[in-house]
Chain A
Amino acid sequence: MRIDKGQISTKKFIFSIICYIQASAMLTSFITAIVYQDSWLVILFGMIVCVPLIWLFNSLMVAFPDMNLIQILNKVYGPVAGKVIGAGYIWFFLTLSSLNLMDLGDFTKLTFMDEMPLLVLALMCVIVTSMVVRKGIKAVAWYSSMFVVVAVAILVISILLLLNQMHYENFLPTLHLSVLDYVQGTHIILTIPFGELVAFLMITPNVKISRENNRKHLFTGFIVGGLTILFAVVRDVAVLGNTIDMFTLPSLVVIRLVRLGEALSRMEILFAIVLIILLFFKIVFLQYVTVIALAQLFNITSFRYLALSVGALMVAYGMTLYPNVVVHAASGREIIPFLWTLFEILIPLLTFIIAKARKLPGKKEAR
C-alpha cells in the first residue's frame, strides 16, 4: 500500500541526499572539540568507514524496491516484532526532526536573534514545514536542487574570500592525537551526518530507481555531500587553527572574519542563508518521513492531516528534551552516537541478514 503516490526522479533523489548531508555541516562543533585540527581527517575516515553502511542501505533499497522501511520491518520481522521496531523508528525519526528543529532555533538565536523566544522561531518553521509536508514528497524534494546549488556556491565564495587568511600550517601536526580520539570522532561522523541517511529508506517506493545501475545514486549523493562537509571543515581549520575548539559554530566565526576592505566585510548573511535553508530542508524531510512512518504503521491512507500534528509534537518534544545547550552538546558527543548506532547500523544490518536468510523478498516481489 503506497501512502504517498508522488514520484521523484533520481536527480531529485540525489540532490535530496546531498542537501541532507550538507545540513550537518553546521554541526561540526561536535568533532572539532575532540580532534581539533585533524577534523578533516576524521571526516575523511568517516566517509571511508561509511561506505559499507551506504552499501547496506542500498542493498535494502534494491531488495525491497516498493516497500518503505516500516513495511520492510513488518515483512522481515513478522507483524508483532516488526511493529514494535517500527514504533522505535518512529521515535527515532521524531527525535531527529525535533533535534534539528531545535538546532535551527538555537543557532538562529545564537547568531542573529537572541531575544526571540525559541518557541516562536520553532513555530514559524513548523508551520511552513507542515504545509510543505502536506503536499507530499514532490514538494519536499523540490527544494533540494536549489538549496544544493546555493549552499555549494556560498561555500565556494567563502573559501575564495578567505584565501588570504588561510594558513596551511594550521593543519599541522597531523595524526598526533590518541587513537581513541580518532575513533570517537569517526564514530560521531558515522552516526550523525552520514548514518542518518537511513531516513531515505522510507522513501524507496517514491523514487524511480531501476534495478541495473542503482548503486550510483546513493553513492553520488553521499560522496558529494561528504565532500561539501569536508571542504567546509578544511576551510574552518585553515583559518582558525588552534582556536577551533573554542567555538560552538566555527563556520560562523570564520565567515565573520571575512574582510576584503570595508565593503566586503560582515558577510554573516551568507552563513545565515546556508543555515536556514539547509536545516529547513532537513527538518522538512525528517518530518515527512515521520509522518509517513506513522501513517504506515497505523494504516492511515491520508497522511496530510498528520503533518501539522506531528509538527506540534516536534516542537513540544524538542523544547523539553534537553535543559540547556551544554547538556545537548555533551549528549551529542557521548550518548547520541551509541543510540544512533542501534538504529542506523545494527537494526538495518540485522534486517538485511534476516532477509537474506529467509530469502526475502520472494519471487513474486521481484516485479
Chain B
Amino acid sequence: MIAKTGKIRVLACAALLPALMAFLSGCWDEHELNELFFVTGIALDAASDPDKIDIALEIEQLQSDKSNGSSSTQTTSSQGSDAILLKAERETVEEGIGEIDINSTRRIFIHHNQVLLVGIELAEQGLENNLDLFTRNTEARADVPLLIVDGRADKLLSIDVEQETIAGVYVARVSDRQSTISEYYKVRILDFISKYIDGTTAPVIPVIKLVNKNNKDEIEFSGMAVFIGGKMIGRLSDDETLGYIWAMGGVSGSVVTARSDSMTASLYITSLNVNREITVRQDGGVSVKLAVNASLEIKELIEFDAIPVKELIPILTDMVQKAIADRIINTFEAVREMDADIYGYGVDIHRKYPNEWDSGNMKERWPELFSDIDFKVSVKAAIPTTGKAIQSMEMEEYNGEN
C-alpha cells in the first residue's frame, strides 16, 4: 500500500513526534500546582510615602504538612497561621504585585483571591484609583468582596484565626454568611464600581477591625463605611447598618429588639420587603415613601408579665413596627447629615423620571436635593406564630377564658 519512498516519510513523521514531545514540558501557560502561590487575600494600605501604597498578599501556605501520605493520620496544621504575607510598597497595585512576583519562589496566582481589604487611611485618601486592576485583569475576579479595615489591613491578614485556617478565607466566609441575610451586607468590587459609576449614589463598604479578646486577636465586623466618590467620609454604626439593610429590603434572618417601658422582645425577621415610592415634588424636591412589609417570629420575651395573652400579638406588632421604623429613620437622618445617598434614590429617579432628571439638572444638585428629601416610613408587621411556647413564664396564667 505504501510506496517505498513513502515508508521513509512515515518514519520521518514518527521521528518528529519525540521532538514534539519536547513541547509538552514547558508549554506556555502551563503552571504546575506546586509552582503557584495562591493568593487568598489582598490588602491595600496607605504607605508612609503619600504617593505610594502598601500592597500585601496573603498566600495560603500549603507546605506546612510535611508528611503527605494519603493514609497517614490527619495532620492538623501546626499552631500559628498557615498564611504567609508578602508585601511591597509601590505606586500602583500592579507594580506591587509585579515586585512581589519577581521576588518569590513561585508565580503569584490571583484567581482564587477571596477578599480585598483596604486600610482606613487609604480609604480616606480615595480608593477609586486602585481598583482599575481588578476590573481589567482577567485573573482578578469582580465578585470578590471588598472590605475596609479599621486599622492596617495587612496586620489583619496576618493574624491567626480559629474558625478557619487563614484570615482571608475567614473574612470571605463570614461575608458570605452575612449575605444570606441580605445581599447588601456583602459588597463586591463590581457593586462598588457600579455604585461609583452612578455618580449620585454613595457606596458603602463593610468595616472590620481587630479586637483583642482574652489576649487573642480576633476579627470583628463593625458597621459600614460611607463613601462619596471613592473617598470615605463617614461611618455607620452597627445599628445604623441594620437600618440601611432594612431600608433596602430583601432581608431574611435579621433580629429586631423592640423595647417599650420595661418590656423587651426579640423577634426574628423571616422576611422583610420594601416597596419604594419615589416621587418628584412640585417644588422640584424629592419625596420618598417606604412601605415595609415584615413577617416575624417571636424568639424571646422578657418582662411581659403584665400583658394578657390575648393582647400579646397586637402589642408586639405595634412595638415592632415602631422599632423598625425608628431604626430606618435614624439611619436616614445620620446619612442625611453626611449628604450621602447610600440607598440609591438618585438612580431611581434617573430611571423612573429621566426627563425631570435631565431637565431639572438634578444630578449636580443631588446633594442638596438629598438633604431635602421628604422621608416617610410605614411598617406593616405580621407575627404569625409565637414559637413553641404560647406564653412566657411570667405572663398571666391562662385561666380558661379563651
CB within 8 Å of A: which B55-94 residues: none
Pairwise interchain contact B143-A243, C-beta atoms closer than 8 A? no
CB of A115 closer than 8 Å to a CB of B: yes
**Which A residues are within 8 Å of any B CB, using their own CB?**
110-111, 113-117, 120, 169, 172-173, 176, 240-243, 246-247, 253, 256-257, 259
Pairwise interchain contact A241-B29, C-beta atoms closer than 8 A? no
CB of B354 closer than 8 Å to a CB of A: yes
| CB of B89 to closest CB in A, whole Å | 27
Pairwise interchain contact A256-B29, C-beta atoms closer than 8 A? no
Select B143's contact among A111, A242, A257, beta carbons within 8 Å. Answer: A257
Pairwise interchain contact A114-B29, C-beta atoms closer than 8 A? yes
| CB of A35 to closest CB in B, whole Å | 15
CB of B25 closer than 8 Å to a CB of A: no
Top 4 closest pairs, chain A to chain B, by CB: A172-B351, A173-B354, A115-B29, A115-B28
CA distance A24 to B39 in the complex (A): 35
Select B190's contact among A111, A113, A176, A257, beta carbons within 8 Å. Answer: A257
A-B contact pairs, 14 of them (CB 8 A): A110-B138, A111-B138, A113-B29, A114-B138, A120-B28, A172-B352, A242-B198, A243-B193, A243-B194, A243-B197, A246-B193, A253-B190, A256-B141, A259-B143
Q: Which residues of B have CB within 8 Å of A176?
A: 354
Output the nearest chain B residue to A256 by Cβ-Cβ distance: B141
| CB of B13 to closest CB in A, whole Å | 15
CA distance A242 to B143 in the complex (A): 16
| CB of A224 to closest CB in B, whole Å | 31
Total of A-B residue pairs, C-beta within 8 Å: 45
CA distance A243 to B188 in the complex (A): 13
CA distance A124 to B263 in the complex (A): 75
CA distance A116 to B30 in the complex (A): 9
| CB of A106 to closest CB in B, whole Å | 12
Pairwise interchain contact B28-A242, C-beta atoms closer than 8 A? no
CB of B377 closer than 8 Å to a CB of A: no
Output the nearest chain B residue to A111 by Cβ-Cβ distance: B138
Q: Which residues of B have CB within 8 Å of A113?
A: 28-29
Q: Which residues of B have CB within 8 Å of A259?
A: 143
Pairwise interchain contact A116-B29, C-beta atoms closer than 8 A? yes
Q: Which residues of B have CB within 8 Å of A110?
A: 138
Pairwise interchain contact A169-B351, C-beta atoms closer than 8 A? yes
CA distance A172 to B353 in the complex (A): 10
Pairwise interchain contact A173-B29, C-beta atoms closer than 8 A? no
Q: Which residues of B have CB within 8 Å of A241?
A: 194
Pairwise interchain contact B28-A246, C-beta atoms closer than 8 A? no
Q: Which residues of A have CB within 8 Å of B194?
A: 240-243
Return the CB mask of B178-209 against A: 1 if under 8 Å, else 0: 00000000000010011001100000000000
Q: Which residues of B have CB within 8 Å of A169?
A: 348, 351
Pairwise interchain contact A253-B142, C-beta atoms closer than 8 A? yes
| CB of A163 to closest CB in B, whole Å | 13
Q: Which residues of B have CB within 8 Å of A115?
A: 28-29
Output the nearest chain A residue to B199 by Cβ-Cβ distance: A242
CA distance A257 to B141 in the complex (A): 8
CA distance A341 to B348 in the complex (A): 39
CB of B378 closer than 8 Å to a CB of A: no
CA distance A239 to B351 in the complex (A): 16
Pairwise interchain contact A256-B28, C-beta atoms closer than 8 A? no
Q: Which residues of A have CB within 8 Å of B231?
A: none
Pairwise interchain contact B190-A243, C-beta atoms closer than 8 A? yes
CA distance A167 to B71 in the complex (A): 49
Q: Which residues of A have CB within 8 Å of B352?
A: 172-173
| CB of B109 to closest CB in A, whole Å | 13
Q: Which residues of B have CB within 8 Å of A256?
A: 141-143
Known: A243-B190, A257-B142. 14 other contacts (CB 8 A): A110-B138, A113-B28, A113-B29, A114-B138, A115-B28, A115-B29, A116-B28, A116-B29, A117-B28, A120-B28, A240-B194, A242-B194, A242-B197, A257-B190
Q: Which residues of A have CB within 8 Å of B193?
A: 243, 246
CB of B350 closer than 8 Å to a CB of A: yes
Pairwise interchain contact B351-A173, C-beta atoms closer than 8 A? yes
CB of B135 closer than 8 Å to a CB of A: yes
| CB of A29 to closest CB in B, whole Å | 14
| CB of A249 to closest CB in B, whole Å | 9
Return the CB mask of B13-52 against A: 1 if under 8 Å, else 0: 0000000000000011100000000000000000000000
Output the nearest chain B residue to A110 by Cβ-Cβ distance: B138
Q: Which residues of A have CB within 8 Å of B29?
A: 113-116
Q: Which residues of B have CB within 8 Å of A172?
A: 351-352, 354
Q: Which residues of B have CB within 8 Å of A242?
A: 194, 197-198
Output the nearest chain A residue to B351 by Cβ-Cβ distance: A172
| CB of B76 to closest CB in A, whole Å | 22
Output the nearest chain B residue to A252 by Cβ-Cβ distance: B138
CA distance A116 to B28 in the complex (A): 5
| CB of B202 to closest CB in A, whole Å | 15
Output the nearest chain B residue to A239 by Cβ-Cβ distance: B190
Q: Which residues of A have CB within 8 Å of B197?
A: 242-243
CA distance A247 to B29 in the complex (A): 23
Q: Which residues of B have CB within 8 Å of A173?
A: 350-352, 354
| CB of B91 to closest CB in A, whole Å | 23
